Each structure stands twice: as structure tokens, then as C-alpha cells.
Structure 1
């Protein structure tokens, strides 16, 4: 087997069906598809069994999170290359074959990804720099993010018009060689949701290079996998999971000193964000939204490291 495609499913039956349908016409030869269902309450499992009988289906009795569930697929995959693919994606012609061809021809690279497009065809940022403590705080603090846009962990938009070596790639569509997995291991199960792709790419880059390919593309309906099929703004739950994962990433890669520093900077960020939202209230903005943002910010101060809520 040359390519194993691993798709995590969680209450996205309609999106998953469209994703699998796109794979049925745009999959290279010698490809296996593995769907790992995280205890969906919709008809995702029965839909796969009924409409896509050749797909290998793993049914979980509970929601194991992104990393642990994908690791189940990685464990049973037989391909030389393994693709992590979100259920809210539409695969286009030649996109997968272009990625596998690149890794086959460039053994110094352990992972690659293609261009991600929004539903309207616009570019979706999917390659980033590994976050430092500084740009994590800047990204999490609205006033600082507006004052120092160049210090967040993204690349300039024009860079996405060419191929380039990236520090980490989005796990929405990430092709990894089996050699890279053998060298650095699979995803870290301690990350329940968010930052597991950052951690994985950081480990892969110790042994291999990582490449962003700008010509092949797939459509990513960003947020559908998180929201059970509905694309929307981050929920309170997802914001807390994001904070948990950032703290875990800091503890793992920047040690206890980095974790303590990040906690302190998040407190400063809370007061800056609160001041921003209070100003918006005085300007007559949506009071419910602004008060909700302040409340969530306060709750995030007490978010534990890693795990799930």
C-alpha cells in the first residue's frame, strides 16, 4: 500500500460524506481510507457502512480527541505515506498524487501539505512558524495583535504563492512519511484538541524537512470538524481546549520556566483584553458579546494544562 488516508469523524456526517465522495474520484492507486469515529451521535457510522463499504471504520465508544483517535488510524495504516485529513475537506484532482510524489522524490522531507482553500476559493493560511512564548501571547491579546501584526507566527501572504520549507503545517491536511513516524513517533496523546500538529511538526523537523506545496489544493470548510458540521466562531469549549493545549506545549517544549512565564503573561493579556472590551462597550458595541468575551477571558486564567474539560 502506498497511501493511507486517515479521517477523524465526529458528528460531521454530511461533511464526511462529501469528503469521501471527493476521494472516490481523486484518490491515487494503492490507497486505503481509514475513518476513525469519535463516538458520533449522528449517522456518521451508518452512513460510512452503507455508502462506503470499502472504507475501514474504527468506532470509538467515547470522544478520544484528535491525537489519540488519529493515532488509532496510524497504528493500523499500511501505507508508505499517511495523510491526516479533516472530514470537512473536499479533495481535488491530482492534489494527493502531487503530495505523495513530492515525498517519494525527496527523502529528506518527512512531511508536506498542499494549499488549503476556503469554500469561496480564497487562500486559507495553513503553514506557520513554531510559536514562541512571545508570539503566543501577542496572538492571544487583541491590542498587542493589532499593534504588532508582524510578530504573530504566520508567514507573509505572498509566500504562499510559492513552495517553501515551513516550520509547521496544519493537521487539516498533512502528509507524513512512515519513515518520519518511525523516527519521531506518532502524535502526542496528551494533546486532546489543538497544537498536536505543532508539536508533531516540531519533532519531525529535528530529523527531516517539512514542505508547503502551493500548486496542489484542497477545499477546507474550516471549523466544520470542530463544530459538528457547522462552521462558526470558536465556542467557549474550543477556546478552553486551545488554551489547555498551548499551556501543555509550553510545558513540553519550554519547560516549567516557560509555563510559569506564559501563565503570568496570560494574566497581563487578560487585563489588556478586558480594557479593550470595556472600550468597545463604551462605544456602544454589542454588550452581550463584549461581556461574554470578558467572562471567557477570566475563565481562561484558570485553565489547567492539557487534557480535556
Structure 2
């Protein structure tokens, strides 16, 4: 299943800030994934002014990685652009530092992109270390999803509702030490392990991805159990947007879109990119067209031409003239009708591909600033993609929503409610005060940079 193209096919770009141990786990999983060796050209790390020794760790333990340190926190979008522009692979895998790769999974993403030219961006099914599913796609923020939030949640959860396939009853994927029966636990909780149950033996691949005993991190020690299943073809689900912890981008599309919009410091930069990708028409070629064919032969693949615009003049120039015979066979010249079609690029979730995501570890103790930063990015997103009237209506609805939530939660005894509800109460009070202060754009994570 590993693609066989030359070793300039994939670049990995990782953004990090003060997550040394998490980054160490991720780099070990890259290093231990044997399937990457045939097509991975480079791994670029953009460090946003870490103060935890990240640079020394990378330089001493992973000298094969390209390490770039910024003097300040540039934000995710700007750092992603910086890293991608320093890389050259045909595809870019953009990773958060709190992810861990499972051996062979990235090769499947790459294979899907190679076989589906209209896929501009794809992402894996994100999972916890015990293989429970995480939300991996997202709806597009709008007045509708703001007033009726269950609509957005339902749309983003569609990929988690497909039925699991049959597998050996012994199949639990990865279990914390001292525990067993993950698949039974997952069934009890309504969780689906369909992707892992449908394809391949994950046992060795997960063992390889996890850190060794001499590199302890946030992942638990694990036991492995047998998974006996038959592989099936990889399929994808078109989604409005992906969660940006792990996404693969076609470089040609990235250039066409001029990269991430750097007004987004953190949050929703991937949603903005996905929206623009789905508005960007791909290049189509008439089914009758073939570029140049040896006499008596046909069926030359046009995938490269389909991706890269109008080749007519370049092909005419490249084809040998009668007075310059060389090694090329005699050729027939056919009409190449290349035109921009109405089909947009697709954004695709691959439920059968798994990447471990230690959700929330990169924000950590700055959770309240992180939530304000989300609102800052949310308003930037709405302002960018909608009219001024729509933006003001959205802002008013969100402000009123914070007031109503505070009033409802104020009726509950603060000391008797759970920790999650208390955090929600604090968050909505902070959001309310932030609105009263005029929604300053520098009070989120930017202020803690």
C-alpha cells in the first residue's frame, strides 16, 4: 500500500510551542514509521519561541529534522505558512505537536490523494490513545449553527455514525495496562471502532508509534491484543471542514490559495482554508483528450495535466519536430482541451485512517484565553465571509447567548455544580465582559504569546 513515487512526495510540517515532551513523542512516531521512508522528503519544525528546551531536544535526538526557531509566537497560520514555504514536497502533512502517528496510516492518506485528483485537502480520523474516536470534521460557523448549535454538532458527527464492520471478537486495538475489553467498552458508550476494525493489523503499528520506555510522555503504557480483519479499499467522506490537528494539503492548491490567512492567530485558520479550497475550481480535461501518444498506443495518464492548468503550448513546444529526431517515439498530436471546470476541490475525511491526538494538550493552562482567542477568530471568520449586517447580527446573537447562559447557570448553587459547569460559567462571564469591552483582538492567546 506504500506509494512508490520518488522521495520528494511528502513534507511534514509541525508547529510547536513549549510542548517538548509531546513533540518528542511525535518525532519518535515519525522516525519509527518504516512506511514513511520511501516517500518522506523532509520534516520541518517551526518553534514559536519555546522556553522548555525544545531546540536542544530536537537538535540532539532528531538531527534529521529541520528545526526553525522564531523569536516570538507567530501564531498557527503564519507558522504553518512559514514551514510549508520552507518545504518542497508535492503534498504537505501539517501536524500539531500533540499528535502521534500510527505506522502505515500516513501512507494511506497519500495513496488516497494520489488516486483522487479532486481532493485538495484530506484528514484522518483523530483518536484518543485508547482508540476512542474524536471529532475530526467541523461545520462552517454561521447564524444557523449559532442559534441551533445541535445542527453543527450533528453535521460534524456524521462520520462517527457509520456502522462498524465485523471483526474477530478478540479485537481490542490498544488498552491501558491493567484494562481489557476496549471494544466492549466502546460498544457500551456508543463508540465505533469501524476504521480500525475494517483494515489491517494495527497491533505492531501502534506499538511502533508509541514512545519507548526511555522516552516517557503523556501516553499511557499499553498492552496489545490481536486484530484479525480483512483490508478493504480506502474511502472518504466529503466534509465542510477538518480539525486541523492533522491535515494533508496538495501543494498546488496551497499555492493557488496563497496559503493560510494570517489574520487568524489560532483557531479557524483550517476552516477558512477548507472553505476557500471548496470555492476554488479545479482544472478539467475533455475525456477525448490525450496529450501525446506513441503511434498505435493510447490511454496515457492525464492526472498531472488535470492538476496543473493549460498544457497546450508547453506540449507543443516539448514535442519533437521533424528535423530533430531523438529518443522519443513517433507521436500523434491530439487536441488538448483544458479549461477550468465548475467542480471545486474536495475536502475529505478518511474514517479508515487513524492519527492519535492528545486533544487540548497544546492549549493547556491557557484554556480561558484559548476560548477568547476562538471568539476572536470566529468574528474574523464571519466578517471575512459575510456581509457587515450578517456579522453584526451574528455578534449580537452570540452576546445575547452569553447573557442567557449566565442567567441560567446563576440559578444553580455554584459550589454544588460540577467542574465542567463551573468552567462554563466562568467562560461565559469572561465572554460577556469581553463583549462589553468592545471585543479587543489582543486579549486571547496573542496576549500570552
**Higher mean Cα deviation, 75-84 or 267-276?**
267-276
Instruction: Output one character per residue of 1:70-93: Cα deviation in whole Å (capped at 9) or x when no partner.
Output: 110011110000011011111001
Does 1:225 pair with 2:362?
Answer: yes
1:187-226 alignment runs, 5 A limit: 187-207=260-280, 208-226=345-363
1:137–1:55 CA distance, 2 compared to 1 (3 A)? farther
Q: SS of the counterpart of 2:355?
A: strand
Distance 2:98 2:430 in 1: 27
Instruction: Output one character per residue of 1:69-120: Cα deviation in whole Å (capped at 9) or x when no partner.
Output: 1110011110000011011111001111101111111111111111110122
Distance 1:211 1:109 in 2: 7
**Higher mean Cα deviation, 14-23 or 255-264?**
255-264
For the pair shown, the structure with the greater C-alpha radius of gyration is: 2
CA contact (8 A) 1:7 1:35 kept: yes
Distance 1:90 1:290 in 2: 29
Counterpart among 425, 430, 433 of residue 296 in structure 1 = 430
1:204–1:92 CA distance, 2 compared to 1 (3 A)? same
CA contact (8 A) 1:126 1:170 kept: yes
Partner of 2:200: none
Does 1:172 pair with 2:308?
Answer: no
1:136–1:150 CA distance, 2 compared to 1 (3 A)? closer
1:76-225 alignment runs, 5 A limit: 76-139=86-149, 149-152=150-153, 153-156=155-158, 157-159=160-162, 163-207=236-280, 208-225=345-362
Distance 1:79 1:290 in 2: 43
CA contact (8 A) 2:146 2:398 kept: no
CA contact (8 A) 1:248 1:305 kept: no
**Higher mean Cα deviation, 93-102 or 149-158?**
149-158
Q: Which runs of 5 or more structure 1 residues have no equivalent in the other structure?
A: 140-148
* TM-score normalized with structure 2 length: 0.62
Q: Which runs of 5 or more structure 2 residues have no equivalent in the other structure?
A: 1-7, 163-191, 195-234, 281-344
Counterpart among 77, 101, 117 of residue 67 in structure 1 = 77
* TM-score normalized with structure 1 length: 0.89
Q: Kindly indicate which of the two structures has a greater share of residues assigned to helix.
A: 1
Distance 1:282 1:67 in 2: 38
Distance 2:161 2:424 in 1: 34
Instruction: Measure how far apart 1:155 and its partner are.
Output: 3.0
Q: SS of the counterpart of 1:6?
A: strand
- The number of residue pairs the alignment matches comes to 295
Instruction: Output one character per residue of 1:108-163: Cα deviation in whole Å (capped at 9) or x when no partner.
Output: 11111111101221000111222222213544xxxxxxxxx235452333148563
1:206–1:28 CA distance, 2 compared to 1 (3 A)? farther
